[in-house]
Amino acid sequence: MRKPARTIVTIIVFACVLLLAYAMLRDGSGPAEGEDWLDAVRRDAERRGAAQEDGSLLPPMGSDPSNAPRIAVETQDIDAGVIARDEITTFELVVYNEGQRELRINDVMTECGCTVGDIQSNRVSPGGQTSMTVAVNPYLMHDFQSDYELTILTNDPRNLRFPVRVRARVDPEFSMEPREIDFGEIPAGGAVEETIRIRQLTDTPVEITGAAPLGNPEALRLAVEQVPEDEWEQEGYAEYDVRVTYAPRGETGPVAQYFYVETNLERLPQLRGAVRGETVSFYAVSERRFRLSDSFAPGTDVIATADITSDEPLSIEGIEVTGSDYHAEVREGDDPGTAHIDIGVRPDAQAGRRAAEVRFNVVSNGRSVEDSLQVIAVIGDS
C-alpha cells in the first residue's frame, strides 16, 4: 500500500521541478552555459530578493518593517457636503508616501459606481505625493445621499487595503415622509395602514407614477393617488399620497419589507422605502416548511405533521393542497386549543422531487386567519 503513495509524492515533486524550470526559462533566469540547475535556483532567489530594492514587492521576510512604503492621506473620512444634483462633482485628495521605499498603488476599488477614485500616479517615491481625483455622480446615487468606501490597494505592508470613506448629499427634488414605517405589533390575519406624503421641493416637476414592493410579498399592498391641488402646501408644487397596507397571514416574527416609489425624474426614477414591525398571533405552528430528505412511496399515509396550538379553543377549516401529489387531513388534539395537520402522499403521486402548499384557516372566537405549510419530498416509483 505504501508503493502508490511514494509514486504520488514522486510525481508531485517532479511536477514542481518542471514548473520551476518553466518559470525560470520564461523570465530568462535559467542556468547559464556550464551552470547546473541548483546554482541557477540560488541565483534566481538572489535576483528576486534584489528586485525588492526598487519597491515593487513587499519587504523581505524578517526585514525592518520601517524600511517599507507607508501610505497617508489628508483625511480618510471625506464629507463632500451638498453637491449639485445635475452634474458630477469632483475633488482632489492628496496621497503621501511617508515610508522608505517606493509606494505602489495597484487599484482603487469602490462599493458603488456613484463614488469612484482615480490615482494620478501609481508610483510615489519616498517622501513624495500624488493626487487621487474623487468623483461623485448624482445620477448613480439612487437616493438623496451616499455614504461609500473607496479602497486603495497598495504595497504598504501595514495598509494593503487602505479605506477612504466618502459622503455626499444632494438637495432633494422631493420629500417622502415617513421614509420608513414602523407598524409595531401587527396581528396575524389583520391589516394595518399608513399614508406616506410626497411633496415636490424644487421647480423641477415631480410626478409619482407608481409604487410596488421589492420581491412579491402577498402581505404588502401600495396605492398612489395625487393630492387635490387646493390641498398642496405650496402652489405649483405637486403632492402625492402613497397608501401602505400590511396584512400578514399566519406566520409570525419580525417584519422587514422594502418597497419603492416610481417617479418621472431622470436622476431618481425610483426611491426605496421600508416597512418594519412584528407579526404576532394567538396560535403557534410547530413547523411550516417540511423539506424531507427521505424517499416516500405513493400511498404513504403520513410523512409530516404540523401541530397548531393556542391558549384559546380553535379549529382548522378550509384545508386544501396545491397539486396532485399530496393530501392533508386535520386531526383534533387532546384539548380544544390543539389541532394537527397530517400530510401524506397520494397513491397516484408522480415520482420525483415534488413540492406543494397546504392552505388552511385557523378559526377561534370569531377570528379567521389564513395560513399555509410547505412540503418538499422525494416520491419513489409505485
375 by Cβ neighbours in 10 Å (0-12 / 13-18 / 19+) ranks as: buried
User: What's the fold here for domain 283-379?
Assistant: Immunoglobulin-like (2.60.40)
Output the pTM of the full model.
0.71
Separation of alpha carbons 8 and 107, rounded Å: 41
Give the model confidence (pLDDT) of 121-132 as tens digits: 999 999 999 999
Q: Are 129 and 98 in contact (CB under 8 A)?
A: no
Three-class DSSP labels, 313-376: CCEEEEEEECCCCEEEEEEECCCCCEEEEEEEECCCCCCEEEEEEEEEEEEECCEEEEEEEEEE
Looking at residue 298, its pLDDT comes to 96
Separation of alpha carbons 372 and 380, rounded Å: 25
Looking at residue 217, its pLDDT comes to 80
Give the model confidence (pLDDT) of 349-367 as tens digits: 999 999 999 999 999 999 9
Q: How long, in residues, is the chain? A: 382
Give the model confidence (pLDDT) of 14-72 as tens digits: 666 566 555 555 555 555 555 555 565 555 545 444 444 444 445 555 556 678 999 99
% the chain with pLDDT above 70: 82
Looking at residue 67, its pLDDT comes to 85
What are the phi and psi torsion angles at 171 (to 5°)?
-65, 115
Closest CA to 56 of 66, 68, 45, 44: 68
Separation of alpha carbons 162 and 157, rounded Å: 11
Q: How would CATH label the architecture of 71-170?
A: Sandwich (2.60)
DSSP 112: -
What are the residues whose beta carbons fall under 8 Å from the beta carbon of 210, sequence distance 6 or more?
224, 261, 262
Q: How crowded is the C-beta side of 74, counted as CA atoms within 13 Å?
A: 10
pLDDT at 9 over 80: no
| Residue 208 grid cell | 409619482
Lowest pLDDT segment from 13-17, 94-98, 196-200, 243-247: 13-17
Lowest pLDDT segment from 25-39, 160-174, 175-189, 288-302: 25-39
Task: Tell whether domain 174-280 is in CATH 3.30.1330.80.
Answer: no
